[in-house]
Amino acid sequence: ELESLGTPFELTRRGAIRATLEGEQRSPDRAIVTHLDTLGAMVRELKTNGRLGIVMIGHWSARFAEGARVTIFTDRHSYRGTILPLKASGHVYNKEIDSQPVSWDNLEVRVDEKVQDKEDLKNFGFNVGDYVAVDTDLEITKSGFIKARHLDNKAGVTCQLAAIKAIQDAKIKLPVDCHPLFTITEEEGTGASSVLHGDVASMVAIDNSTVATGQNSKEDSVIIAMRDQGGLYDYHLTHKLIKLCEDHKIPYVRDVFRHYRSDAASALSAGNDIRTALICFGLDASHGYERSHIDSLISLTQLICLYLMSETEITRDKDELGSLEGFPQQFEENT
């Protein structure tokens, strides 16, 4: 997609993507980041009953894996299958169906080939470590809702690409260089740890919110995160994004995420001295069978464009180290 847009990019050794949108100012520059990877599973055992024991890739509940249709990728071929609990037939197990534990140890993949035992699996080329990809089951309703697995973070990737296309189609010259980043290990915890370079002073992560009781997120608006499990987001960068929403009448809400980390956390954990913020699309049932709304995706894309077109937040950030002079203070901004 970046090639079709004519956007220059390069890959890291591990496969993360760093694109470049040139601006009037080369340094310090900024980055936006979203992750390409999503949830899945990996074969941990070839079982004597001809089925596959699995472990999760990323962090998601076995409850949402039950019944999922999947593709298993061996070293040479791919095969179809279904993730099932160990006790799958109501006609056989009756009430035990409902009392069995919700656990990855209680799941197996029924392979859609004539396999009866471990040797059959070996003959087909199955191995421990084979990847298991879960079908997305996408549906878009007339009312604008988008339902699927893996909207985290395919929807975020879509918004980032749409913003890049809009900027380039309009031939807008950005005030400062921006690097759109696409990471491939966010769900495993490493994300943006190695894709940045030293010239980036601020980075905005683009990901899903968590719509649920006790949360402030909404499915049809932008959500600006104030903090998550990884810590606090930068006050000044976050409030700049809030002001962009307010000035341009983009519907938004603020939220705090308790069991959640983003690419920003991995970037900071790797020692990058940058300002970070997190902007989100609304998402219900995250890491389950998810749902968002087209209004949220449109609003989020608009906010990304506005951020890319905005001036540098803090002039002092051109220097990695400096005196107190020019360092921003909350009181001055609020007055």
Active-site residue numbers? 186
63: Cα separation from own chain's centroid: 21
Which residue type is seen at 307?
Answer: Y
What values do phi and psi take at 318, rounded to 5?
-65, -20
Half-sphere exposure of 147 (CA within 13 A, CB side): 8
108: Cα separation from own chain's centroid: 26
Rounded CA separation 209/237 (Å):
18
DSSP letter string, 16-39: -EEE-B-EEEEEEEEEEEEE----
The residues facing 35 across adjacent strands are: 183
Q: What is the number of other CB atoms lying within 10 angstroms of the CB of residue 75?
A: 9
The residues facing 147 across adjacent strands are: 139, 291
Q: What is the number of other CB atoms lying within 10 angstroms of the CB of residue 63?
A: 10
